[in-house]
Structure 1
């Protein structure tokens, strides 16, 4: 068997330029290839999450790829070793980012990039931050769960953080569209798989760490290590960290030893920083000085050093969203924006789809109805925080809290029983239903959720059909009650047995109420 000739990575780009136009795009998904594009083929992930692009080299060539770059780690792509359009690069998964960045002229170096990681809160923070920073003379794009683009004009992508070739491709497209800054969600999978290699992050934000994705990471320790690796990125100047989170405090303590790094801590209360006075001005602190809950949000004052914000009304629900808002305000300060200007920008923020989203029922069809909230909560911690956020409002209304939720199939099964226990501890009426069952049997998923619940505590129903579950809650809840429909948030499809069907929680809530807004 002939040995594969391996090319030195630093020689690759000149070879690619000799084969195709400088306007060619690089992809790791063969379905995106157009004539003249470049295909990167390499394995990423592990276990059931392992994906190997080398299986699609022939498909990329058939679609007109001008060049194939593949990892020769084993014999899977050996048949292409002497193909004139194929180049073997060892450790391609680690080098894909830097190579793609070089191909596109290092677009990340021309953009001031802010990266946000954490189990929960990434989408809300990045969406609000892009809104607050975007101006006619300073265009700010966002990349994340809701899509990629400029505020109000996002193109859905179906993922949180793209793979390395697609990330660099999109950064180039955003730069060409006038972006001067990019705010991006960075998932633990992306960090573990080195998707952001070759990218300078100027400001890194950590929100929290709670159980999720253990089907991929295995343990919470490995999950935390993946999140913390964001702070090893080159070019990092500002570290913004949630001090209300235990892992966040641990992370910040380690980072404070790096003299070149500016560490910002944010917390709901000033007392949280009591044990960190020894760091002096090395640690910049922001916290909530005053806060009062009203019917549709909070009146708050944020504080930094000797400066306080103007009193602001923030139309958000829950302490966790208040924390997300404080994170946004803090990040604005790292960008050289004054406390007064930052506060003015905060008051103009718009709601984020599927994040504690209040659904207005059609008042022409029914004179009054329960308050309905849609949230993306799909982890025990997120579900707990969403339900606890609604409790004061339910008490004010003299009503009960309903919780309609399920768990996704083919994902971390350990959190299912925990979510059942959380729902039972925090809600009064519970309807367990399907989320995105994917390849799993919904009945089996629901049984795992129920395994964490005690019998006879409160009324628990199981309705496999999500539309029927939503209708049952809306139709049977009292007008004083609050209904949380959790798990899917902004999603507009439901995945069952490998197929995606149109499904919107918001649309089905309105339908159950007798019409639309």
Structure 2
């Protein structure tokens, strides 16, 4: 639906009363048909959002947007070329504006947002499978894929920018989707990417130190997550109470809350008789009127709270419990989430996205439990992220592995050697594990595979299904799963 500049200004003034319109001398006929904050994606009729950034101000791209057909600018400063809607904080109003331009799609579909440090991607996919098996038409958006009905696209980031989120929800609505499972990162919350979205359910998995480069400290990180769990944003909450943050959130939220536990903490939904092996994971799920055995194809007991939260959310949304359980059981291994790579080698080889201490504390004990021999872990640290977690990551992994191979991930604009040194220094603080360093990731994987023998396990951690490595602004195709397959082939042939 096209909107006039006057209509948009009126809407913005409900959010920011000081919003004003600055009109250049040369004015095109204005009918706004969409919104984007990427000048490369502007289509004729779009409103271009020029947001202030850490290095570049988006309004500096207004000329490019104008040439591509943009008809107006939303920013904190005007453009001499475009009618400019000027507000003090354009990022804060962008989500509600994008939602309004798309006729508030989250009011027409049930959006279930999943947040937490670890487990978001798995929970979103498990929830999608549970709802689909219960006969619902679903959409999904997360770090692996974005799907609106039959329209499936690769994901760019965990939580897309606000215009993309609202466009995706609009596609879901237009495709007749009933429910959307949406991965909600702390960046997405702190940077208002899901502002303007009404959530049927807000789901919390866990909290451990991560992304402190953005949030500053753990309390601010918690506050970003907790901001989703208010009656103004969500109708209901599902909270895993296996850690202190979950228990605190369950006590503090004023949304109707359903609690989930896999550790014996009193909760509405509980998991018992948890068994995890090299072929999958099983547990007994007990909830209001439900007592059922669940068998997952996904590896590791860390998937049990994800599956139980997905089941509680689906049932809370009206899904038949038995059908939802069938959906959980049918969920295949997710790309880069303890994904097995098997070339016929006499040991277990897996790729996982584990990139923080909390994730490794969940994954490594399971791998140790299914490993008769040595546990070999290849890891590094991504540049431009929280510096405080690098040595801690090395210490954590060295405390649980036999051989730690430190290598590069995506250094971005940081010195790769400094990243490796920080992780390796932390690892060497722990007695017991052997620590070696190989800058080239291909070499590191080859060394790990060469060191592995029958009954061992090799874990390639940190990147998961990410297919691109970035150094000094240059993107290089690099898939850990292919690295592992390439290293395994000569080993098996030999």
Q: What TM-score comes out, normalization by structure 1 length?
A: 0.86
Instruction: Flag the 1:409–1:152 CA change in 2: closer, same or farther, 3 A.
Output: farther
Instruction: Flag the 1:493–1:11 CA change in 2: closer, same or farther, 3 A.
Output: closer
From 313, 320, 341, the counterpart of 1:359: 341
From 265, 273, 291, the counterpart of 1:272: 265
Instruction: Flag the 1:211–1:235 CA change in 2: closer, same or farther, 3 A.
Output: closer
Instruction: Tell me, yes or no, if structure 1 residue 10 matches structure 2 residue 19.
Output: no
Q: 1:35 is matched with which residue?
A: 44
Instruction: Tell me, yes or no, if structure 1 residue 392 matches structure 2 residue 390.
Output: no
Q: 2:400 is matched with which residue?
A: 426
Distance 1:465 1:447 in 2: 14
Q: 2:286 is matched with which residue?
A: 303
Distance 1:163 1:53 in 2: 14
Distance 2:235 2:175 in 1: 26
Unaligned runs of 5+ in 1: 274-283
Question: In structure 1, the residue corresponding to 2:382 is in which secondary structure?
Answer: coil
8 Å CA contact 2:399, 2:433 repeated in 1: no
Distance 1:52 1:68 in 2: 13
From 275, 299, 323, the counterpart of 2:305: 323
Superposition pairs for residues 410-421 of structure 1, below 5 Å?
Answer: 410-421=384-395
8 Å CA contact 2:148, 2:171 repeated in 1: no
Alpha-carbon deviation of 1:137?
6.1
Deviations 1:399-458 (A, max 9, x none): 110000000011111000001101110001110001111111211111111222326532
Deviations 1:175-213 (A, max 9, x none): 233323211111111111222221111100011111111
Q: 1:496 is matched with which residue?
A: 471
8 Å CA contact 1:128, 1:350 repeated in 2: no
Unaligned runs of 5+ in 2: 1-5, 15-20
Instruction: Flag the 1:33–1:303 CA change in 2: closer, same or farther, 3 A.
Output: same
From 44, 56, 63, the counterpart of 1:58: 63
Deviations 1:97-116 (A, max 9, x none): 12121111111111100001
8 Å CA contact 1:200, 1:233 repeated in 2: no
Q: What TM-score comes out, normalization by structure 2 length?
A: 0.90
> How many aligned positions are there?
475
Q: 1:280 is matched with which residue?
A: none
Distance 1:241 1:249 in 2: 8
Superposition pairs for residues 66-215 of structure 1, below 5 Å?
Answer: 66-72=71-77, 77=78, 79-80=79-80, 83=81, 85-134=83-132, 138-150=136-148, 154-215=152-213
Alpha-carbon deviation of 1:123?
0.6
Question: In structure 2, the residue corresponding to 1:485 is in which secondary structure?
Answer: strand
Alpha-carbon deviation of 1:37?
1.9
Alpha-carbon deviation of 1:323?
1.5
Deviations 1:204-251 (A, max 9, x none): 001111111111111111111001001126352221111101111001
8 Å CA contact 2:206, 2:245 repeated in 1: yes
8 Å CA contact 1:417, 1:449 repeated in 2: yes
8 Å CA contact 1:317, 1:390 repeated in 2: no
Instruction: Flag the 1:450–1:11 CA change in 2: closer, same or farther, 3 A.
Output: closer
Question: In structure 2, the residue corresponding to 1:292 is in which secondary structure?
Answer: strand
Distance 2:449 2:30 in 1: 58
Distance 1:288 1:488 in 2: 30
